[in-house]
Structure 1
């Protein structure tokens, strides 16, 4: 099957040339296996997988997602199957790194709504995902994932970020000393990961699942639309109010949410800077400085 992978995916996975080279073959094998009619590649798409709009033999619509092993597609499948359509897209079939998913309206995410409405809908969606993980699951914990991230942050060489990194690492050490709960988490929950659907208004996609406390999962949502906050004179106070509002609406401890928001913003910022995405990194670090 001949097609051009989206540029964003190629740039993000440039080191995975072997996988990218095998991508047309993998798509063709999945399409043949499930007798799919491929309509088009979704662009610009994401940085960790290829998504195509397809039709099944009965004419119903679906989405085919193909991801490299580094994206842990089996863990995504396990989480989505455990949720079984409750708050998230439903898995229709899976095979060898490919997921056939319920098709959502990819062009309509919560980012299309006014901010207050988007946060309200996001809170209602993520609440559904916070369930007990399956028995004998293979998901890592928040402590395990953030330990790896902390190592990368310590190795980050730009002196201007040193004080924020130190504060974020201290917050992480305090937060991981005790976890109030071990629930299944989305892992990368934000407005852009919640799409309009037919069987219910909104459903989450693209989990990077792990187990831990709700405050960790909520922390990425706090930073949504950071460019809008940065552009206002009252951005710092608005960011702190958002922490408190989200914490209170979902019965999460304010200080734990603030701490995880700080850690995740600094981790995201330093990772983006290390990858050459300077504007993204600088915005995340400026936001972190407000907390």
Structure 2
């Protein structure tokens, strides 16, 4: 006999957080809205299947996933994550399994077909954003050193080369839109930077997080800081570091001479992780411009303009 849903839920509301409703609806269109309608039932299914007792839904939660803090059958705390399957999130479970808790949240159980994962419980309200910028960058570099390992033979992860080829196609399309007219010179610079990067590849590609920033590194009990929410790829470490380089742009904007501060940040991060400075500058330029035009395309003018301003400083 199927378990009573009210017992499984413990009367905990399992409604998707507002941010999830907003972002999935805006980013994924009709498919996203259909997934959101089915999400509460899907969460209940995994609570029952894995014998989990919910405590509360994590707010604000992820942009394309819902996280429920739970207790396992033996009382151990954990987190149930149910996310929308996309090309970027499809292999998240595989990356976490490969890292096996070294530098990243530990995967306890998963169902890749449903994009459901049971994860160790971290301190969700304490990320690297709680630290001063310089200290946060230092800790972030320590986490990346653990994550950048060789992938297993026959791994399922997409390459940075293939991923950025698709990003470049989208960037060219957005470059032609009327609203992107002022950004076309920057878009051309970004595409030229990518061309330079693809002319030579790193000798030993590694497994990358893909979306590494301060908000995706949480405090843990087993280790001080652990990464969450990877969008894994295999390739040049500079691709990962470029996303970190543009973290906390509001902090950079508030600094005296932000252009010089941005260049110093690139140099400091490159030296800390033995990444070529010029390659990191090119990766950062490409990722900032691509992200900026994407943000403008989905109506996020504030973040889009800030990313493009940062790119211009480089």
TM-score, normalising length: structure 1? 0.97
Number of residue-to-residue matches in the alignment:
291
Please name the residue that 2:6 is paired with.
none
2:250 aligned with 1:227, yes or no? Answer: yes
Distance 1:108 1:64 in 2: 18
Aligned match of 2:259 in 236, 243, 258? 236
2:136 aligned with 1:136, yes or no? Answer: no
Name stretches of at least 5 consecutive residues in structure 2 with no aligned partner.
Answer: 1-8
Distance 2:162 2:88 in 1: 15
2:173 aligned with 1:162, yes or no? Answer: no
Distance 2:88 2:273 in 1: 29
Please name the residue that 1:82 is paired with.
98
Please name the residue that 1:8 is paired with.
19
Aligned match of 2:232 in 183, 186, 209? 209
Please name the residue that 1:112 is paired with.
130
Distance 2:47 2:88 in 1: 21
5 Å-filtered alignment, 1:120-199, equals 120-156=138-174, 157=177, 158-180=180-202, 181-199=204-222
Q: Kindly indicate whether the alpha-carbon contact (under 8 Å) linking 1:129 and 1:184 is maintained by their aligned counterparts in 2.
A: yes
Deviations 1:92-118 (A, max 9, x none): 000131000011001000110011111
Q: CA deviation at 1:43?
A: 1.2
Q: Kindly indicate whether the alpha-carbon contact (under 8 Å) linking 1:48 and 1:71 is maintained by their aligned counterparts in 2.
A: no
TM-score, normalising length: structure 2? 0.90
The structure number with the bigger radius of gyration is: 2
Name stretches of at least 5 consecutive residues in structure 1 with no aligned partner.
Answer: none
Aligned match of 1:260 in 274, 280, 283? 283
Distance 2:171 2:80 in 1: 34
Q: CA deviation at 1:231?
A: 2.1
Q: Kindly indicate whether the alpha-carbon contact (under 8 Å) linking 2:89 and 2:230 is maintained by their aligned counterparts in 1.
A: no
